[in-house]
């Protein structure tokens, strides 16, 4: 409670987080008021609405306290192994909610009207926890001062790409001294060569998803060295390409590998059986702007997945993990991204991450912070709460609301 500021915020904090963990259809402010204070819904609604929408408390301070309390519980099952970069979208109607715009929404699998936030999670094989979460603002927003003012966006928030937001979060995590892990990212981030270079500059390793048309130099190939100096002018320093010295796509390289290069690898237990697939890996150098460079890029791993029954490889990763690392370990890290998918699934389905109905910057981030706090509590208490445990709703007085009541925002018509 110390990080929330005024003592009169302690009860709304407790009520809001408790409501997020309660079994109700929607976790926006009005339903949370109904489930946490059924005898005084209107007053509770105003209290929670002010707390989350207008409260001058710090998201950073609350998230720091959540990290302090939850990371030791995660690390009891093993050290932090990964930093996972990702983003998540929530469908949103209208145009006034902060950051809303027509953009790709992973939840829908297509472009639509939605809000998108970029996050960084710390993970091991047991659990993961989001430690940074920020709304992405499309350029149509950052170029409209009046729109920004109405949504309460701070003056120092300008346009940044999702990759730039992710890099800021990584730099912050390094500066904060968080326990380090391998940076994991899908092709939406991993295909950005500048982001990969910046991660290396931070002295972090990565396993980065890439697209099949990414070009590389396989071992034993590469651009030509600089031309020999003729003795006149400046000595040539840049690498060269010609018709016979050209990189190939990772898909071409994968299809050229011999059958002996492919190995079946299990990476974790699934619901019914171990998860496994066929993988190959080779050492490569990424080919990008080679004619502008003086030295070839360093070697790294190219990991390829080609499941049985597929006509071509389905996934590709680049990794700066050690050359001596076993194939099974490399596959393990590539597949550990499932943790962030579980994060978002539970944050949305269990604690209502995408249910906030306010329109302003502060409320959007306050709601997300409280969802992460509730999720962190569930992570910490997971081992003590068996699936058959009694619902904590018994702590509250029985609801006086009629059975047919549907709060505003409910997906089910009244």
Rg (Cα) of the chain, in Å, rounded? 25
pLDDT value of residue 392: 45
Domain ranges of the chain: 2-186+341-395, 205-330
What is the predicted pLDDT for the residue at 384?
65
Q: Which residues 6+ apart lie within 8 Å of 413 measured at CB?
A: 406
Give the number of other Cβ atoms within 10 Å of residue 126's Cβ.
Answer: 16
Please state, in angstroms and rounded to a whole number, the distance separating the CA atoms of residues 84 and 107.
Answer: 18
User: What pairing do the DSSP bridges indicate for beta strands 182-185 and 128-135?
Assistant: unpaired
Q: State residue 127's pLDDT score.
A: 92
Q: Which is nearest to 286 in space by CA: 360, 351, 197?
A: 197
Give residue 387's pLDDT: 53
Beta strand 206-210 with 182-185: parallel, antiparallel or unpaired?
Answer: parallel
- Cα–Cα distance, 399 to 36 (Å, whole number): 9
| DSSP per residue, 132-160 | EEEE---HHHHT-HHHHHHTT--TT----
Residue 130's closest CA among 61, 205, 215, 70? 70
Residues linked to residue 115 through DSSP beta bridges, in sequence order: 90
Identify whether the C-beta of residue 279 lies closer than 8 Å to the C-beta of residue 303: yes
Alpha-carbon span 397 to 404, nearest angstrom: 19
- Rounded to whole angstroms, the Cα distance separating 414 from 408 reads 9
Give CA angle at 232 (229, 233), nearest 5°: 95
Tens digit of pLDDT for each residue in 233-252?
Answer: 777 777 777 767 788 999 99
Q: How does pLDDT run across 209-235, given as a tens digit for each residue? A: 999 999 998 888 877 677 777 777 777
User: CA–CA separation, 32 vs 20, rounded Å?
Assistant: 7
Q: Which residues pair with 193 in a beta bridge?
A: none
H or E segment and range at residue 19:
helix 10-21
What does pTM read for this prediction?
0.88
Which two structure tokens, joined as six digits, stand for 84? Answer: 């996972």
Q: CA 369 to CA 363: how far, in whole Å?
A: 10
The per-residue pLDDT for range 267-308, each reduced to its tens digit, is: 988 877 899 999 999 999 998 777 677 788 889 999 999 999
Predicted pLDDT of residue 235 = 77
Partners of 210 in the β-ladder: 316
Give pLDDT, residue 109. 82
Per-residue pLDDT of the chain (414 residues; tens, 9 = 90+): 578 878 889 999 999 999 999 988 889 999 999 999 999 999 999 999 999 999 999 999 999 999 999 999 999 999 999 999 999 999 988 889 999 999 988 778 888 999 999 999 999 999 999 999 999 999 999 999 999 999 999 999 999 999 999 999 999 999 999 999 999 999 999 999 999 999 999 999 999 999 999 999 888 887 767 777 777 777 777 777 776 778 899 999 999 999 999 999 999 888 778 999 999 999 999 987 776 777 888 899 999 999 999 999 999 999 999 999 999 999 999 999 998 988 899 999 999 999 999 999 999 999 999 999 999 999 998 766 655 444 444 444 555 555 555 555 444 443
DSSP letter string, 195-256: HHHHHHHTT--EEEEE-TT-EEEETT--PBPPPPP-SSSSPP-S-B-BTTB--EEHHHHHHH
Alpha helices, H only, 301-388: 327-335, 338-349, 361-381
Long-range contacts (CB closer than 8 Å, 24 or more residues apart) made by 141-150: 141/98, 141/99, 141/101, 150/96
Of 10, 148, 2, 180, nearest to 79 (Cα)? 180
Cβ-contact 53, 364 below 8 angstroms: no
User: Phi, psi (5° rounding) for residue 189?
Assistant: -110, -40
Q: What length does the chain have?
A: 414
């Amino acid at each position: 409670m110390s990080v929330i500021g005024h003592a009169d915020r302690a009860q709304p904090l407790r009520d809001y987080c408790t409501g997020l963990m309660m079994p109700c259809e929607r976790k926006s402010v009005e339903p949370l008021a109904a489930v946490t204070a059924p005898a005084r819904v209107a007053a509770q609604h105003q209290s929670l609405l002010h707390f989350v929408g207008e409260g001058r408390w710090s998201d950073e301070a609350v998230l720091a306290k959540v990290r302090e309390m939850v990371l030791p519980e995660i690390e009891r099952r093993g050290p932090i192994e990964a930093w996972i970069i990702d983003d998540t979208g929530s469908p949103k109607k209208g145009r006034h909610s902060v950051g809303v715009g027509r953009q790709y929404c992973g939840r829908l699998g297509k472009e639509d009207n939605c809000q998108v936030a970029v996050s960084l999670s710390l993970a091991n094989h047991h659990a993961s926890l989001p430690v940074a979460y920020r709304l992405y603002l499309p350029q149509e927003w950052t170029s409209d001062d009046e729109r920004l003012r109405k949504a309460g966006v701070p003056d120092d928030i300008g346009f940044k790409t999702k990759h730039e937001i992710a890099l800021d979060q990584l730099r912050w995590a390094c500066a904060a001294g968080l326990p380090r892990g391998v940076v994991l990212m899908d092709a939406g981030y991993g295909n950005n060569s500048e982001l990969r270079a910046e991660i290396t500059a931070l002295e972090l390793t990565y396993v980065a998803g890439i697209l099949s048309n990414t070009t590389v130099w396989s071992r034993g190939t590469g651009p030509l060295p600089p031309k020999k100096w003729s003795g006149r002018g400046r000595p040539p320093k840049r690498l060269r390409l010609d018709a016979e010295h050209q990189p190939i796509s990772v898909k071409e390289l994968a299809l050229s590998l011999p059958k002996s290069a492919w190995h079946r690898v299990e990476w974790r237990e699934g619901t019914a059986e171990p998860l496994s697939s066929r993988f190959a890996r080779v050492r490569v150098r990424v080919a990008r702007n080679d004619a502008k460079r003086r030295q070839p890029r360093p070697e790294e791993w190219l990991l390829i997945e080609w499941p049985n029954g597929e006509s071509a490889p389905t996934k590709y990763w680049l990794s700066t993990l050690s050359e001596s690392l076993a194939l099974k370990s490399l596959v393990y890290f590539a597949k550990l991204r499932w943790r962030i998918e579980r994060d978002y699934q539970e944050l949305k389905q269990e604690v209502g991450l995408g249910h906030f109905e306010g329109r302003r910057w502060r409320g959007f981030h306050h709601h997300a912070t409280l969802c992460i706090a509730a999720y962190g509590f569930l992570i910490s208490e997971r081992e003590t709460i068996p699936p058959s445990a009694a619902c904590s709703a018994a702590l509250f007085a029985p609801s006086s609301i009629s059975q047919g009541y549907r709060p505003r925002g409910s997906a089910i018509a009244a």
